[in-house]
Structure 1
Amino acid sequence: MATTMLRLSLLLILLSSVVSDKCNPQDKKALLQIKKDLNNPYLLASWDPNTDCCDWYTVKCDHETHRIISLAIIDSGPSNFSAQIPPSVGELPYLETLEFHKLPKLTGPLQPAIAKLTNLKYLRISNTNLSGSVPSFLAQLTNLTNLDLSFNNLTGSIPDSLSQLSNLGSLRLDHNNLTGSIPSSFGSFKSNPDIILSHNNLTGTIPPSIGNLNFTHIDLSRNKLEGDASSIFGPNKMVQIVDLSRNNLTFNLSNVEFPTSLTSLVINHNKVYGNLPQG
């Protein structure tokens, strides 16, 4: 009898350990490879292969499928690792949120494996030392609603193909070293995203096609943009916040029709003339 009870107890322990580990084995394998590629930082100390990865810090699993849907590696203190974005992030096919934030020693280009994450809705890689260009493969992530690549060292031009992101609600490429002009294709965004491109080295004019959009927030400040910006405005627009400061823009404010929704307008350090409407 005692032997039977012992065997039963051992069986229950084994079953409970199997049941408690909800994490998909392939997801766990990918996460452990990510940890290795990041040189096993202390931030990921909870990533123990003997525990359920759904319980790991910075990770979130779907309640029903138990697949990894969120990976948010954010360092609130001094970063203790130096690495590039691991290619193994592309082995988390159910990922909807991917964040690498406040990691000043994260270097290299945007990893092409990210293009495999077709379920991705929120991508933020910001406040890092990321370099290289804004890759055109991002246009393949058609479910994206938020794209934030701000506060990095990205260079080169902005790819026209970003306008193919039909669900995008917010685009942040500010605080980089981007050059070239704002793509005229941005006027064909279907989702009217807020556009934040400030603190770059963008040149040329603001494409008139931008007037096709009905965003609530646009920030093109601290670039080298020229010409007329009046297409941003209009009596039927929903725009609330506009910052065009510190460019070389030239247009007559008296000819601009401002929407009633506008709450903040910053246009200093340009060549803007004319009078603001009364009222």
Structure 2
Amino acid sequence: MSTIITNLFLLFIFIFLSQTTSSLSKRCHPEDERVLLQIKKEFNNPSLLSSWKPHTDCCNFNWYGVACSALINQRVGYLSISNDTNLSSQFPPSIANIPYLEALFIFDLPNLTGPIPHSITKLTKLKYLTISSTGVTGPIPNFTDQFTNLVNLDLSHNNLFGTIPPTYGYFNNSNVASLDLSYNNLSGKLPISLAMLDIYLLELAYNNFEGDASMLFGSNKKTLVIDISGNRFAFDFGRLDLSQTITSLDVSHNKIYGNFPMAMENVTFLNVSYNRLCGEIPKVGYFNTFDVSSFIHNKCLCGSPLPSCK
């Protein structure tokens, strides 16, 4: 849902910018047109992109999923290709040749395969990058050095494998707001450098991670949402140093042990089920609104809504 909202918001912004100065230019840059037509070819000319026709205006929303920015002389700044089960190809390398691209959304394309080409790091102006719910595979590309303007990175629901590069802890933290690597085949231990991440939303759910994930937490961080469910993490939950800003926390389906940490008064969504936690469930904040499903299948938790402690 967050991807859809971001997508619509950006589209509105580009519509506004383009329409306010549409009289300045009726044609997109010829090099952008050439690259887009090459992308269409690399996508095997899907019907989804039938509106991409030579010598027509690829700006002013004549071409599906393409928008130009009036702030940069009608250069293509937005590209969104999605929701096509018939589109079958490898990830088109020519996407890396749209120099002013600020927002790229590739999602719900289950037959898009192959690795994410490293050449995508040429898109140094990218702020929003979503490659989600596709068949792309391979290791996570190392984006950190090139994507200094990145705000949101969503690589969820793919077939990516391997470990998280240590350099992901060195993202430009003043810019990055969210990182979603959930529902892949990632594995191994988290690099300790992730302790430096200070972002609003962090999702690593349903991979094959193991070991300690406590470095993701911190009392001085601005984190709102953390979801590390569906892995094999094992650490002492009670020793976490939680931020007062966290409102949503899902650590379910892991091997986490200990009791509850302090500073959980502001958590409005919680799931700690299927772990090895013990002790009494706190009676603070919104805990009286959480049902049994938030706590079941732990070693020895007790207290409402579970049976009372003896």
TM-score norm. by structure 1 comes to 0.87
Answer yes or no: is 1:269 the counterpart of 2:277. Answer: no
For residues 235 and 196 of structure 2, the distance between their equivalents in structure 1, rounded to whole angstroms, comes to: 21
For residues 90 and 153 of structure 2, the distance between their equivalents in structure 1, rounded to whole angstroms, comes to: 19
In structure 1, the residue matched to 2:168 is 162
Tell me which of 22, 29, 37 is aligned to 1:32. Answer: 37
Answer yes or no: is 1:57 the counterpart of 2:50. Answer: no
Tell me which of 163, 172, 197 is aligned to 2:204. Answer: 197
Q: What letter is aligned with 1:63? A: A
Alpha carbons 2:25, 2:74 under 8 Å: kept: no
For residues 175 and 275 of structure 1, the distance between their equivalents in structure 2, rounded to whole angstroms, comes to: 32
In structure 2, the residue matched to 1:7 is none
Answer yes or no: is 1:101 the counterpart of 2:104. Answer: no
Q: How far apart are residue 91 of structure 1 and its match?
A: 0.9
Alpha carbons 2:67, 2:76 under 8 Å: kept: yes
Answer yes or no: is 1:208 the counterpart of 2:252. Answer: no
SS at match of 1:47: coil
For residues 125 and 257 of structure 1, the distance between their equivalents in structure 2, rounded to whole angstroms, comes to: 36
Which structure has the larger Rg? Answer: 1
Q: How far apart are residue 231 of structure 1 and its match?
A: 5.2
In structure 2, the residue matched to 1:15 is none
Alpha carbons 2:214, 2:240 under 8 Å: kept: no
Alpha carbons 2:166, 2:194 under 8 Å: kept: yes
Alpha carbons 2:124, 2:148 under 8 Å: kept: yes
Count of equivalent residues: 256
What are the superposed Cα offsets for residues 14-56 of structure 1, whole Å, 9 maximum, x if unpaired?
xxxxx86420011111101000000000000000112001121
Tell me which of 135, 144, 147 is aligned to 2:153. Answer: 147
Tell me which of 218, 225, 229 is aligned to 1:217. Answer: 225
Alpha carbons 1:233, 1:259 under 8 Å: kept: no
Q: What letter is aligned with 1:111? A: P
Question: Which runs of no fewer than 5 residues in structure 1 stay unpaired?
Answer: 1-18
Q: What letter is aligned with 1:137? A: F
- TM-align CA RMSD: 1.8
Answer yes or no: is 1:112 the counterpart of 2:118. Answer: yes
Tell me which of 174, 178, 181 is aligned to 2:186. Answer: 178
The 5-angstrom pairing of residues 2-151 of structure 1 reads 21-54=26-59, 55-64=62-71, 65-75=73-83, 78-151=84-157
Q: How far apart are residue 139 of structure 1 and its match?
A: 4.1
What are the superposed Cα offsets for residues 171-215 of structure 1, whole Å, 9 maximum, x if unpaired?
0000001001122111112x4231100010001111436325330
Q: How far apart are residue 216 of structure 1 and its match?
A: 0.3
Question: Which runs of no fewer than 5 residues in structure 2 stay unpaired?
Answer: 1-23, 285-310
For residues 249 and 239 of structure 2, the distance between their equivalents in structure 1, rounded to whole angstroms, comes to: 12
For residues 51 and 230 of structure 1, the distance between their equivalents in structure 2, rounded to whole angstroms, comes to: 61
For residues 180 and 79 of structure 2, the distance between their equivalents in structure 1, rounded to whole angstroms, comes to: 20
